[in-house]
């Protein structure tokens, strides 16, 4: 007998055996009984109601396959629906069954719907299906059981169609949904024990929603193999799109040429693209880097991260900003640490950022930022017409003033340093800026805060407490030129001079207006060789003789063309409730001496101050037009909002001063005559 004939006999016998086995299976297959048993077992084990409305079918060639349709599973309460299934088919290879091996040929699932719910107490509607609750009276050790066996998967093909998964959080009211999920693969295998995973022709596409946002997701690869000793793959691509009213963001990640092993995996190139639009602003990012993965130590390294970030918006003065990227990233997943470095350029500014993540969750990090020069004003949108103090007041009256939100500080844990060679922000110009920043437990501390500015130096600190919206500021300015500082900082041209200014204040509030009204602390200034702009005190004194002649009081508003020069100006302020009170003002000049006291209402941008002006003796000699003011302090009242301060030489107080002076002169004259008589002269 030839070999071919013998082989033919074997095949014929095998076919006969399979035919007999198929006949036995069909003969023993009782669809109604199987459905009844399944329903009873599910009810007994879970308390849920299982319904099988469609056909329960069996086929034995070329695969042993089970088909089922119109399946439903209730919630634990038995009233609402947890799961429903239009149809499913599971096919098992016949030949491996002869050697007692189960090899799944294909799994097909169509029209699966699952409703997941998180209850207000934190439990899930699938907790009763998990099967991980210990039996009554069992010890934790007994309930834990033996370590789980390795999970093994060997499927020749998987296909999911029209899958829908919904999620509802009863506590927050948030709802999300994955709809129209389609997944297909070729051969799919894996073993957690031997660390083996392989997939062929994987393709996934789905869409869904989360609140007002709608998303699309897609994943595709011709094949990937990952084992302890080998890793290979061509290209894995993942794309995602998020869209809602006025917003659309699309991202794409591509992994090209996987090689090595799970313990030492390399990816020739990781490419990341981001393209989006929010309102009228658009942004685009393109980044790439080779990747190495140390599977044993769980370390991922992107050694050469390059690309660019492009942002455009009609609100930007330059309409568009493009940043080139050059950096590196190392993430130690096991120790929850990451090290990131990035160099970039913004127009004429060179920037260097270093970031060390010390803990992923909750996030804790160290950072350092170095910039050679930066003009922030170049990238800020222009101020709206009418913006300023009056606009702020109107907004406050209308209840439309923006709130200061410090909630971001409450989850922040960071410390770092910022160094900038030259900086301009809101017109303020600094050089050699050196800042140390620390944030934890809802508190932000900026100390020290040092810089050079306007011919002098700044040294101080800033603290913010998010728990009660409290701010504290301490600053010492030495040798500064006050005039350009005030022009740039507050758009005020009211004072000239060089010297020192100190400030130590605290405040609390959730709007700028509230912060101004809550100011408390101290301030002081000591200036030399300058001028007070808006009023010429010497010129007013020459008009004071009109007061003595009984004419109307001299009054008016400040005029930037006028000024009062001084050789020295000192003052200290006690601040409470947004009002700065002063009683030790001292101004000295070759013409006048000035002292005074009064209030500056910072919270409402107003001033009420009484200055007392005295004339230098050299200007009150015989024949001088100011002779009548010799020894007299002329009262000068300043009142009104910062934008329009009014002044008045107060007649009643001046006449009192003149009367006192005249009495004093008469007393001196009488005393002199009596002394002459006494000494015989």
Residue 124 pLDDT > 90: no
Average pLDDT, the chain: 80
Contact present, 415 and 439 (Cβ < 8 Å): yes
Separation of alpha carbons 322 and 87, rounded Å? 52
C-alpha separations of 394 from 399, 508, 531, 605, 609 in Å: 8, 21, 33, 13, 25
More confident position, 389 or 69: 69
C-alpha separations of 333 from 108, 168, 229, 360 in Å: 36, 31, 21, 9
- In the predicted model, what is the mean pLDDT of residues 195-206? 90
C-alpha separations of 584 from 332, 524, 530, 653 in Å: 62, 10, 18, 20
- Position 513 in a domain: yes
Separation of alpha carbons 578 and 514, rounded Å? 9
Separation of alpha carbons 232 and 349, rounded Å? 43
Nearest to 309 by CA among 262, 263, 272, 359: 272
Contact present, 223 and 234 (Cβ < 8 Å): yes
- Position 417 in a domain: no
Residue 669 pLDDT > 50: no
Residue 55 pLDDT > 90: no
- 163, 178, 211: which is the final residue of a domain? 211
Strands 633-641 and 606-615, sheet pairing: antiparallel
- pLDDT per residue as tens digits for the range 442-492: 999 999 999 999 999 999 999 999 989 999 999 999 999 999 988 888 787
Q: Is the dihedral of CA 629, 631, 635, 636 positive or negative?
A: positive
- In the predicted model, what is the mean pLDDT of residues 503-530? 93
* β strands within 170-280, DSSP E: 175-185, 188-191, 196-210, 213-226, 231-244, 247-260, 265-278
Contact present, 170 and 119 (Cβ < 8 Å): yes
Q: DSSP code of 380?
A: S
Strands 213-226 and 231-244, sheet pairing: antiparallel
- Position 488 in a domain: yes
More confident position, 195 or 558: 195
- Position 653 in a domain: yes
DSSP-assigned letters across all residues of 644-658: G-EEEE-HHHHHHHH
Nearest to 616 by CA among 643, 590, 645: 590
Q: Which of 127-131, 215-219, 369-373 has the lowest mean pLDDT?
A: 127-131
- Position 299 in a domain: no
Estimate to the nearest angstrom the gap between the alpha carbon of 295 and the chain centroid: 32
- 176, 196, 211: which is the final residue of a domain? 211
Contact present, 464 and 444 (Cβ < 8 Å): yes
- Position 275 in a domain: no
Q: Which residues contact 399 (CB under 8 A, 6 or more apart)?
A: none
- Position 505 in a domain: yes
Separation of alpha carbons 392 and 517, rounded Å? 13
Estimate to the nearest angstrom the gap between the alpha carbon of 133 and the chain centroid: 41
- Position 110 in a domain: yes
Range of the domain at 588: 468-668
Separation of alpha carbons 601 and 609, rounded Å? 10
- 211, 227, 243: which is the final residue of a domain? 211
Separation of alpha carbons 243 and 207, rounded Å? 11
C-alpha separations of 276 from 215, 287, 311, 312, 335 in Å: 13, 15, 10, 11, 34
Structural domains in the chain (count) = 2
Give the rounded percent of residues in the chain with a pLDDT score beyond 70: 76
C-alpha separations of 229 from 195, 197, 225, 332 in Å: 9, 12, 10, 22
Q: What is the CA radius of gyration of the chain?
A: 42
Q: Which of 69-73, 87-91, 145-149, 677-681 has the lowest mean pLDDT?
A: 677-681
Contact present, 236 and 249 (Cβ < 8 Å): no
User: Which tokens belong to 433?
Assistant: 């800026």
């Amino acid at each position: 007998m030839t070999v071919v004939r013998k082989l033919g006999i074997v095949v014929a016998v095998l076919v006969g055996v399979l035919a007999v086995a198929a006949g036995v299976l069909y003969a023993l297959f009782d669809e109604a009984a199987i459905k009844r048993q399944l329903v009873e077992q599910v009810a007994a084990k879970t308390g849920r109601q299982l319904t099988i409305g469609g056909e329960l079918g069996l086929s034995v060639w070329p695969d042993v396959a089970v088909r089922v349709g119109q399946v439903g599973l209730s919630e634990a309460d038995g009233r609402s629906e947890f799961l429903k299934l239009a149809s499913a088919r599971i096919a098992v290879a016949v030949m491996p069954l002869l050697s007692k091996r189960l090899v799944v040929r294909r799994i097909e699932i169509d029209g699966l719907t699952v409703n997941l719910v998180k209850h207000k107490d934190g439990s899930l509607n699938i907790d009763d299906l998990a099967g991980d609750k210990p039996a009554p009276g069992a010890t934790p050790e007994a309930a834990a059981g033996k370590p789980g066996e390795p999970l093994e998967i060997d499927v020749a093909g998987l296909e999911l169609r029209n899958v829908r998964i919904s999620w509802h959080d009863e506590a927050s009211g948030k709802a999300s949904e994955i709809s129209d999920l389609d997944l297909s693969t070729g051969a799919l295998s894996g073993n957690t024990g031997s660390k083996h995973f392989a997939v062929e022709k994987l393709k996934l596409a789905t869409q869904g929603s989360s609140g007002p946002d709608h998303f699309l997701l897609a994943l595709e690869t011709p094949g990937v193999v990952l084992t302890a000793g080998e890793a290979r793959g061509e290209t894995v691509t993942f794309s995602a799109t998020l869209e809602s009213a006025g917003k659309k963001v699309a991202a794409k990640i591509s992994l090209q040429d996987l090689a090595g092993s799970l313990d030492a995996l390399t990816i020739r190139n990781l490419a990341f693209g981001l393209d989006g639009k929010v309102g009228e602003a658009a942004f685009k990012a393109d980044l790439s880097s080779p990747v190495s993965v140390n599977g044993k130590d769980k370390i991922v390294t992107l050694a050469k991260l390059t690309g660019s970030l492009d942002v455009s918006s009609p609100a930007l003065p330059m309409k568009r900003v493009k940043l080139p990227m050059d950096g590196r990233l190392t993430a130690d997943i096991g120790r929850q640490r990451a090290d990131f470095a990035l160099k970039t350029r913004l127009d004429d500014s060179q920037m260097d950022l270093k970031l060390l993540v010390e803990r992923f969750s909750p996030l804790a990090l160290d950072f350092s930022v170095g910039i050679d020069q930066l003009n922030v004003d170049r990238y800020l949108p222009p101020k709206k017409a009418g913006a300023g103090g009056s606009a702020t007041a109107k907004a406050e009256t209308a209840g439309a003033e923006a709130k200061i939100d410090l909630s971001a500080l409450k989850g922040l844990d960071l410390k770092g340093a910022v160094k900038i060679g030259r900086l301009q922000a809101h017109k303020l110009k600094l050089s050699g800026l050196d800042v140390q920043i620390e944030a934890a437990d809802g508190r932000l501390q900026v100390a020290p805060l040092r810089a050079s500015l306007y011919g002098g130096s700044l040294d101080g600190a800033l603290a913010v407490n998010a728990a009660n919206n409290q701010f504290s500021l301490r600053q010492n300015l030495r040798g500064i030129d006050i005039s350009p500082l005030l022009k740039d900082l507050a758009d005020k041209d009211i004072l000239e001079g060089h010297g020192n200014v100190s400030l130590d204040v605290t405040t609390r509030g959730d709007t700028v207006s509230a912060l101004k009204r809550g100011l408390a602390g101290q301030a002081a200034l000591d200036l030399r060789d300058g001028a007070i702009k808006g009023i010429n005190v010497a010129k007013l004194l020459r008009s004071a003789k009109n007061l003595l002649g009984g004419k109307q009081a001299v009054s008016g508003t400040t005029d930037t063309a006028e000024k009062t020069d001084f050789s020295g100006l000192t003052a200290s302020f006690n601040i409470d409730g947004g009002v700065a009170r002063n009683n030790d003002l001292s101004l000295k000049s070759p013409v006048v001496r000035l002292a005074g006291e009064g209030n500056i209402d910072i919270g409402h941008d107003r001033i009420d101050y009484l200055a007392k002006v005295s004339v230098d003796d050299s200007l009150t000699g015989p024949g001088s037009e100011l002779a009548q003011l010799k020894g007299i302090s002329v009262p000068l009242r300043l009142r009104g909002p910062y934008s329009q301060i009014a002044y008045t030489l107060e007649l009643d107080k001046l006449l009192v001063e003149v009367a006192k002076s005249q009495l004093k002169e008469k007393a001196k004259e009488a005393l002199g005559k009596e002394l002459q008589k006494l000494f015989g002269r």
